[in-house]
Structure 1
Amino acid sequence: MNKKMIINGGRHLSGDVTIGGAKNSTVALIPAAILADTPVQFDSVPDIADVYNLQIILDSMNVKSEFKHSVLDIDPTQINEAPLPSTAIKSLRASYYFMGSLLGRFGRATVTFPGGDNIGPRPIDQHIKGFKALGAKVEEANDTIYITTGEEGLHGARIFLDMVSVGATINIILAAVKAPGQTIIENAAREPEIIDLATFLNNMGAKIRGAGTDVIRIEGVPLLSARATHTIIPDRIEAGTYLSLAAAVGDGIMIHNIIPEHLESFTSKMIEMGVDLQIEEDEIYVPKSTNLEPVTVKTSPYPGFATDLQQPLTPVLMLAHGESKILDTIYPKRVRHIVELRRLGADIASEVEGVITINESGKLVGSSVTAAEIRAGAALMIAGLMADGQTVIHDADHILRGYDRVVWKLTQLGAEVEILDEDAE
């Protein structure tokens, strides 16, 4: 059943909010768990729809899992090879990490081409290039990818990624971690979530060096066994979203469980705007923001400004005195929030692909809008909190895919917000 978010906006919010575990780590760590030869446990798991979809996929392979109170237990010791459920696969793009983990576990994988957010082309050619280099044969038919290996199985290889790709870097790590020999990934992505994945695997006995740099070296090992609970790093995109929310509608908000180093490209832009961020070791206080200045934002691979944060920042830019610009070099077609923000009264446009122009907007007024994907939904959520009157965000399932206990957290800050089924009055 599709969901809608109802927001009665125009309120100033205050208080404390704690950031959950990183969605983009979690959706890689759960597929990685099937590489283990023992049960594994994750802590600080975000309560988001993607976790439940991944549990459905695990269950289809006879991998038992239990999720409660931010702790996820996974037992892959009785895993069976089985076709993965297409419904769960198509609702979750990160399900493609099962290609790498199944290849690493069984030497073969059959995966329906994944769905998820529609934010423009995200080809998997670099993933396939990596699998082939490791000794796999890859065929595609009817939206399904068939990956097989011969009698010799996988082997280490040197792989240069033609473009920096988080997904390909992760998938190659998952496939290579048990492959005999040395694998070297050059031009690898450097995101914190890749370090988190490598830390989890290394703690089970993997030999991965260089995660967080553009060259990753992997020595294949025969067994992986969990020795302790793995605590997932804080979600830097959720943190950036609440920082934006605090600057837009906050009367003083403290945001806990943050790694400030993961957000430097984002917080530096907020400071440039005039937001008086008070940054501590693992928390950031955002006082009431006034007299904001326009800025130009250009997205780029980590440690640059994250494409996932350009949309959550957009409502704050609408408060700046002048014209701001966003240049999205990662997903230039990521503009589906623009027409929806205009329904609320935003002065925003994208006349050149990849370039968004935001002007100071007058008071926003609540309206009916639709979330096309997770971060577009976050932008609409913040704008709805800014707007006078009631905003209804349709297809709010996207927001629930990416934001841990979002209604509870907003309510704790003083927002009037609820999630209802689409057909509810």
Structure 2
Amino acid sequence: MSAFQVIGGKSFKGELKVQGAKNEALQILCAVLLTPEPVIIHNIPQIRDVLKLIEILQDLGVKVDKINSHSYRFEARNINLEHLETPAYTQKASALRGSIMILGPLLARFGKSKIPKPGGDKIGRRRLDTHFLGFQELGAKFNYNSKTEFYEIDATNLQGKYILLDEASVTGTANIIMAAVLAKGTTTIYHAACEPYIQQLCRMLCRMGAKISGIGSNLITIEGVESLQGTEHTILPDMIEVGSFIGLAAMTASEITIKNCGIEHLGCIPRVFGKLGIQMELRGDDIYIPAQEHYQISTFIDGSILKVDDAPWPGFTPDLLSIVLVTAIQAEGTVLIHQKMFESRLFFVDKLIDMGAQIILNDPHRATVIGINRKYPLRGIKMSSPDIRAGVALLIAALSAEGVSIIENSEQIDRGYENIDGRLNAIGAEIRRIS
């Protein structure tokens, strides 16, 4: 197990370029299974989860050629479904939650698939019902083997249908869309997720020959086609990394320019951080954040305490609530953080309290942060990263703290952030990898 040793208490100055979006990449990579023709994808982030998914695709028989550091060519002409029965597949797919999204493409093109119960962040229950209920609505037969913990699906004759999703699941919506593009007839998905990543997937599929309307809304209509062709696609900048860097700049009183943010796709993210009192300037597709010694949390119009909560797009993404929480520690004022989706995602706040933060964990879903307004710095401690986003929140706290912090289980951070230590060290941070 590796760890980050962080020497904190410094301010930084410089530019940070945003990586490709992890959550988009996992969907787009699985979509290459829908066609035997070549698909070229640019701006692929070099992070653990994405690289593991590329390994799974290769094991299935996808020919993968690396064009440059962030561009790949995929050709899924010769797929070996027998690999789904191997221990190697079980081991790799069970370790990666994103592997769930190979199901839709394999069902659409080959009529069957199976997957072990996938892993991922330890942030509470993350049910998969939406995926399988959607497949069943299209005519697939589903079986879960509780002894082997394998999900097995037979979908030899998928038929389009009206589907009302039980939740606006991003991965569930993506999976059902990919299954439906080659199904017979018309599929209508209501209460669909409409995140920019879903929009990107739909536009890519349309370039491949799919017929999809309602892109960007929660009502998506898909007319099934016989086959799809190859295409070329560029992944958006990662909005979660943009928010993480905004929080980093505020907590460390740093002057940072965040490059290539994809501002038109950020939704309410800049506005939410603005409510914490963080100043920022939009310069083309870059966000400039001046060094701020103080930033004050706003209140609602009636003077009541600000609440920041997550919601399906275009609401505030749950992946950034951990960053908002840690950023509020050194602000002036109070904010209530309401994490609705995952009941274990706020449990990392005990580490922040040990560092000197003023936080009340009201229940598994809500935490109240009383900003200390830089009256004193946080102190470095030894801690462990429970998931990707909490890990980066702890890293931001450590960089703002006095003394040395150790963040164990840093592999969690590497799952979502490319070369985070190298990029931050380049603007003045002191982060060292240790065993």
Tell me if TM exceeds 0.5.
yes
Contact 1:89 1:95 (8 Å CA) reproduced? yes
Q: Which residue of 2 aligns with 1:56?
A: 55
Contact 2:181 2:224 (8 Å CA) reproduced? yes
Task: Give deviations 1:117-165, integer Å, cap 9, x for gaps.
Answer: 1111111111111101111000000310000034xx1111110012211
Could you tell me which runs of 5 or more consecutive residues in structure 2 were left unpaired when the two chains were aligned.
Answer: 298-305
Q: Which residue of 1 aligns with 2:368?
A: 357
CA distance in 2: counterparts of 1:346 and 1:75, whole angstroms: 50
Could you tell me how far 1:268 is from its partner in structure 2?
1.1
Q: Which residue of 1 aligns with 2:153?
A: 147
Q: Which residue of 2 aligns with 1:75?
A: 75
**Equivalent in 193, 197, 207 of residue 193 of structure 1:** 197
Closer, same or farther in 2 for the Cα pair 1:4/1:66, shift >3 Å?
farther
The amino acid of 1:75's aligned partner reads: E
Tell me the TM-score normalized by structure 1: 0.95
Q: Does 1:22 align with 2:36?
A: no
Q: Does 1:304 align with 2:318?
A: no
Q: Which residue of 1 aligns with 2:134?
A: 130
CA distance in 1: counterparts of 2:181 and 2:432, whole angstroms: 43
CA distance in 2: counterparts of 1:336 and 1:28, whole angstroms: 28
Q: Which moved more, 1:330-339 or 1:307-316?
A: 330-339
The amino acid of 1:257's aligned partner reads: N
Could you tell me how far 1:25 is from its partner in structure 2?
0.3
CA distance in 1: counterparts of 2:275 and 2:8, whole angstroms: 27
CA distance in 1: counterparts of 2:161 and 2:136, whole angstroms: 10
CA distance in 1: counterparts of 2:77 and 2:253, whole angstroms: 48
Percent identity of paired positions between Structure 1 and Structure 2: 35
Contact 1:259 1:281 (8 Å CA) reproduced? no
**Equivalent in 314, 319, 322 of residue 333 of structure 2:** 322
The amino acid of 1:34's aligned partner reads: L
CA distance in 2: counterparts of 1:395 and 1:164, whole angstroms: 31
The amino acid of 1:351's aligned partner reads: N
CA distance in 1: counterparts of 2:235 and 2:318, whole angstroms: 21
CA distance in 1: counterparts of 2:433 and 2:93, whole angstroms: 24
Task: Give deviations 1:296-341, integer Å, cap 9, x for gaps.
Answer: 2111111111110011122210011232210112224311321122
Q: Which residue of 2 aligns with 1:417?
A: 431
Contact 1:177 1:207 (8 Å CA) reproduced? yes
The amino acid of 2:243's aligned partner reads: G
Could you tell me how far 1:54 is from its partner in structure 2?
0.6
CA distance in 1: counterparts of 2:278 and 2:8, whole angstroms: 22
Q: Which moved more, 1:207-216 or 1:57-66?
A: 57-66
Q: Which residue of 2 aligns with 1:5?
A: 4
**Equivalent in 285, 293, 318 of residue 282 of structure 1:** 285
Could you tell me how far 1:250 is from its partner in structure 2?
4.0
Structure 1 residues 44-123: aligned runs within 5 Å = 44-67=43-66, 68-81=68-81, 82-83=83-84, 85-123=89-127
Q: Which moved more, 1:213-222 or 1:258-267?
A: 258-267
Closer, same or farther in 2 for the Cα pair 1:66/1:368, shift >3 Å?
farther
SS in 1 for 2:49: helix
Contact 1:97 1:171 (8 Å CA) reproduced? yes
Q: Does 1:159 align with 2:163?
A: yes
Closer, same or farther in 2 for the Cα pair 1:76/1:250, shift >3 Å?
farther
The amino acid of 2:242's aligned partner reads: A
CA distance in 2: counterparts of 1:343 and 1:74, whole angstroms: 47
SS in 1 for 2:415: helix
Could you tell me how far 1:351 is from its partner in structure 2?
2.3
Contact 1:107 1:148 (8 Å CA) reproduced? yes
For these two proteins, the number of residue pairs brought into alignment is 417
**Equivalent in 344, 348, 359 of residue 337 of structure 1:** 348
CA distance in 1: counterparts of 2:56 and 2:129, whole angstroms: 23
Alignment RMSD = 1.4
SS in 2 for 1:17: strand
Contact 1:92 1:114 (8 Å CA) reproduced? yes
Could you tell me which runs of 5 or more consecutive residues in structure 1 were left unpaired when the two chains were aligned.
Answer: none
Q: Which residue of 1 aligns with 2:303?
A: none
Could you tell me how far 1:242 is from its partner in structure 2?
0.7
**Equivalent in 207, 211, 234 of residue 215 of structure 2:** 211
Structure 1 residues 373-388: aligned runs within 5 Å = 373-388=387-402
Contact 1:14 1:250 (8 Å CA) reproduced? no
CA distance in 2: counterparts of 1:363 and 1:87, whole angstroms: 43
Task: Give deviations 1:379-413, integer Å, cap 9, x for gaps.
Answer: 00100100111111111111001012212210121
**Equivalent in 373, 393, 411 of residue 407 of structure 2:** 393
CA distance in 2: counterparts of 1:415 and 1:88, whole angstroms: 34
Q: Which moved more, 1:10-19 or 1:361-370?
A: 361-370
Structure 1 residues 363-374: aligned runs within 5 Å = 363-374=377-388
Contact 1:189 1:302 (8 Å CA) reproduced? yes
Tell me the TM-score normalized by structure 2: 0.93
Q: Which residue of 1 aligns with 2:302?
A: none
Task: Give deviations 1:165-214, integer Å, cap 9, x for gaps.
Answer: 11210110111111121111001011000011111111111111112101
**Equivalent in 241, 250, 254 of residue 251 of structure 1:** 254
The amino acid of 1:120's aligned partner reads: G
Task: Give deviations 1:79-117, integer Å, cap 9, x for gaps.
Answer: 111217122222211110011111112111110010001
CA distance in 2: counterparts of 1:87 and 1:373, whole angstroms: 20
CA distance in 2: counterparts of 1:412 and 1:250, whole angstroms: 17
CA distance in 2: counterparts of 1:351 and 1:275, whole angstroms: 26
Could you tell me how far 1:69 is from its partner in structure 2?
0.9
